[in-house]
Amino acid sequence: MSDIAVRPQEWMESISGLREHIGKVIVGQQEVVEQMLWCIFAGGHALLEGIPGLGKTMLVRTVSDALDLSFSRIQFTPDLMPSDITGTNILSFGQHGSTGMTFQKGPLFSSIVLADEINRATPKTQSALLEAMQEKTVTVGGETHRLPNPFFVLATQNPLENEGTYPLPEAQLDRFLLKIEVSYPSADELKEIVKRTTSSHTFQVERQMTGDDLLEIQRGAKEVLVADEILDYAVRLLMMTHPEEASAPEAVKKYVQFGSGPRGIQSIISVGKVRALCSGRMHVSTGDIRAVALPALRHRLFLNFEGQAIGMTTDQVIQEVLQALEASA
């Protein structure tokens, strides 16, 4: 281990307090909140998919307030240009009539960036976001500018509409650490949403930790141990998503065109470490691997024509992989 002071119990309590505070604003969606926190403490970006009106924007805003991080929201539209999000060089005037170029920062220069309806932007603008997500820098006029640390992109997309959208290419989907499905609330949750949003009382979000605290937990998560047998378990899981693999279940061989790439297992292990830390453990278990498999892999498997034609989902395929993995263990 490195020289970082390992305090799993303290970190677990901090994350638990953050989760509980968010729950005072966000009704239900415990799994969504949990997976978003996994993603943030693992230092990755998240793609949230769900129909409009499920509180995705409020959730992201609440998380940024609770973490005391700078926040910006970008509404993606087909006419949005790369310079609209990265910033641009503008002509500035100094004393005695002198002129020069000054870089004016765009909305990407925030610690938490909500990319709303990301699939409505053109591929050119999506590519500018890709550099920011991967390199945590933006390049304008040949000059590279570093983004804040920490830096997260939390993007949303609507699964229902196809007109006027530009589906994210596989390379950009792969940059998201997790893809989080935001489900419709239950009847009881709908009643609670109405009570909270139509009354005069509003809950004030208070800071639960700072950016430095967040970075410390991120570093601590990297110290969580992964035994060789756990790593082998994760490797088998990933390999079984490939249709040419002998051990792959029938659903994979029949309906999957391409399985997950190496970023899939990197995502599983890094998020599994955070899940272990959330439980006060400094070692990853097979339960951690299984729990993070769906959000880590659902956007990294690509179905063939037959799978799409019968309405098969990547979640169903991953569930079959997990069942086959358990049976072979």
Looking at 53-67, 169-183, 207-221, which range is the least confident one?
53-67
CATH of the domain at 187: 3.40.50.300
123 and 184 in a common domain: yes
192 and 52 in a common domain: yes
171 and 284 in a common domain: no
- Give the count of domains, the chain: 2
Say yes or no to pLDDT of 329 above 70. Answer: no
Rounded percentage of the chain residues whose pLDDT exceeds 70: 93
309 and 162 in a common domain: no
**What does the block give as tokens for 133?**
């997500």
292 and 148 in a common domain: no
Tell me the pLDDT tens digit for each residue of 267-304.
999 999 999 998 888 899 999 999 999 999 999 999 99
For residue 5, name the pLDDT band (cuts at 50, 70, 90).
low
Q: Quick one: pLDDT at residue 244?
A: 92
The answer to whether residue 101 is domain-embedded is no
The answer to whether residue 135 is domain-embedded is yes
Q: Quick one: pLDDT at residue 179?
A: 93
71 and 176 in a common domain: yes
172 and 23 in a common domain: yes
Of the residues 189, 215, 241, the one at which a domain ends: 215
CATH of the domain at 234: 1.10.8.80
Tell me the pLDDT tens digit for each residue of 212-254.
888 888 998 898 999 999 999 999 999 999 999 988 899 999 9
Of the residues 183, 215, 247, the one at which a domain ends: 215
What distance in Å separates the CA atoms of residue 124 and residue 126, rounded to the nearest whole number?
Answer: 5
Mean pLDDT value of segment 167-176: 82
The answer to whether residue 92 is domain-embedded is no
190 and 147 in a common domain: yes
Say yes or no to pLDDT of 58 above 60. Answer: yes
Say yes or no to pLDDT of 79 above 90. Answer: no
- Domain range for residue 18? 8-77+108-215
The answer to whether residue 95 is domain-embedded is no
Q: How far is CA 72 from the centre of its chain?
A: 16
* Tokens 């993007």 -> residue: 155
SS (H, E, C) the chain: CCCCCCCHHHHHHHHHHHHHHHHCCCCCCHHHHHHHHHHHHCCCCEEEECCCCCCHHHHHHHHHHHCCCCEEEEECCCCCCHHHHHEEEEEEECHHHCEEEEEEECCCCCCEEEEECHHHCCHHHHHHHHHHHHHCEEEECCEEEECCCCCEEEEEECCCCCCCCCCCCHHHHCCCCEEEECCCCCHHHHHHHHHHHCCCCCCCCCCCCCHHHHHHHHHHHHCCECCHHHHHHHHHHHHCCCCCCCCCCHHHHHHEEECCCHHHHHHHHHHHHHHHHHCCCCECCHHHHHHHHHHHHCCCCEECHHHHHCCCCHHHHHHHHHHHHHHHC
167 and 54 in a common domain: yes
Of the residues 162, 187, 215, the one at which a domain ends: 215
User: Of residues 263 and 100, which shows the higher confidence score?
Assistant: 263
The answer to whether residue 93 is domain-embedded is no
Tell me the pLDDT tens digit for each residue of 183-200.
887 888 788 778 777 776
113 and 259 in a common domain: no
Among 111, 104, 129, residue whose Cα is nearest residue 47: 129
Please, what is the angle between helix 56-66 and helix 8-23, to 10°?
Answer: 140
Dihedral angle over CA of 136, 139, 142, 145, nearest 10: -60
Q: Quick one: pLDDT at residue 317?
A: 94
For residue 128, name the pLDDT band (cuts at 50, 70, 90).
confident
Q: How far is CA 85 from CA 107, 130, 296, 305, in A?
A: 5, 12, 27, 36
For residue 94, name the pLDDT band (cuts at 50, 70, 90).
low
269 and 191 in a common domain: no
Say yes or no to pLDDT of 2 above 60. Answer: no
Rounded percentage of the chain residues whose pLDDT exceeds 90: 30
The answer to whether residue 169 is domain-embedded is yes
263 and 124 in a common domain: no
Mean of pLDDT over the chain: 85
